[in-house]
Amino acid sequence: MDQEKTPHCPLCRHIGTPFHLREFYSCDRCNGIFRSRAFYLSPAEEKKRYETHNNDVHDPRYQQFVSPITNAVLTWYAPRSTGLDFGAGTGPVITKVLRDHGYDIREYDPFFCNKSQLLAETYDYIVCCEVLEHFREPAQEFRLLRGLLKKNGRLLCMTLLYDHDIDFGAWYYKNDPTHLFFYQQATLNWIQAEFGFTSVQLDGRLICFQA
């Protein structure tokens, strides 16, 4: 394939390798799997799809789903600590649960709560639940998130990781057209080193980057 027509990895800018059909590519440098930009939705189409999500912040099943993040915050931080729900979406359930416990957490979302002034502050912790896979420019986003953390702060994330035991062709997670980038454990390690996090730890579904 002509190298000039081959997509570059949006995380590390390395030339991609065809991975699945014409739509997905893998990266030999950071081990990410990414969707070709030719298949991206427009921002308007992306927002419309998010608006169809029926995420009820009062649903105990939804609260249980995000509990790896909320339990980590409740364990590691006091209510007076400052937090940011980055990519809060239409149903900011993490914000709801933590505020119910008296926590000081703000919401940011580029489509639904675009308060740019929140990106001029720093935080003890940032939560990103089912957000990382939507990044169009993951390098730009991780650089931003690292800069928003106070010293020793934590970036607490959830996303489904890919590994080679997964049949990618049958993997439901890739079928959402707003899911653009998929991570492996090696990708997390690359991010930790590249963007200056002191560590990254994986505990079940919880990914924790420490500043």
CB-neighbour burial class of residue 16 (10 A; exposed 0-12, middle 13-18, buried 19+): buried
- Tell me which CATH code domain 3-210 carries: 3.40.50.150
| pLDDT score for 124 | 98
CA–CA separation, 190 and 32 (whole Å): 10
Q: Which residues of the chain fall below pLDDT 70?
A: 1-4
109-136 residue pLDDT tens: 999 999 999 999 999 999 999 999 999 9
Q: How far apart are CA 131 and CA 94, in angstroms?
A: 13
Q: How many CA atoms lie within 13 A of 36 on its CB side?
A: 15
Domain ranges of the chain: 3-210
Give the whole-angstrom CA distance, residue 33 versus residue 12.
12
Distances (CA, A) of 116 to 65, 112, 163: 28, 12, 35
Give the per-residue pLDDT at 3: 42
Provide the pairing of β-strand 24-26 with 17-20: antiparallel
**What is the structure's pLDDT at 55?**
83
